[in-house]
Amino acid sequence: SEKWSAGLANVLFDGRSKQFQYGYLLTWQASFAGSDDSADVNTGAFQPFAFYQLGKGLYLRSAPIWVYNFENDAYSIPLGLGIGQVIKKGKTVFNLFIEPQASVAYRGPGQPDWQIFVGFNMQFLD
């Protein structure tokens, strides 16, 4: 957006249970300098997340990202339920997941009615 932005973030994660983990990620960012021709940025996001371990690396998940744009009053609030699989091969851990999400509330241009959140990551162990 050709703007300088700064913001805040807060995270909570409760992993005390081997079967159920939950938490949230809360972020906010706003522009403070840059091109006057570019739109200002003032956006908040809240991502509640929960994971339920089914065993053998298989898990249920929900991690929608709720977004609010303070500049134009646009928002998207999806809810989702997905499934994931963690696989360990040698010194590498793979995590694959898919989570369909439907927006229970949304307003503004470009806000999704539904979406599919898909992920793949790898961790390399020592």
- Short-list 26, 4, 22, CA closest to 14: 22
Q: Which two tokens stand for residue 27?
A: 């972020």
In the chain, how many domains are there?
1
- Short-list 31, 29, 24, 25, CA closest to 8: 29
What is the separation of C-alpha 82 from the centre of its chain, rounded to a whole number of angstroms? 13
80-126, pLDDT tens digit by residue? 999 999 999 999 999 999 999 999 999 999 999 999 999 999 999 99
Per-residue exposure over 60-74, b if at least 16 CB sit within 10 Å of its own CB, e if not: bbbbbbbbbbeeeeb
Q: Which two tokens stand for residue 28?
A: 């906010």
22-72, pLDDT tens digit by residue? 999 999 999 999 988 888 999 999 999 999 999 999 999 999 999 999 999
pLDDT at residue 1 tops 80: no
Range of the domain at 99: 3-124
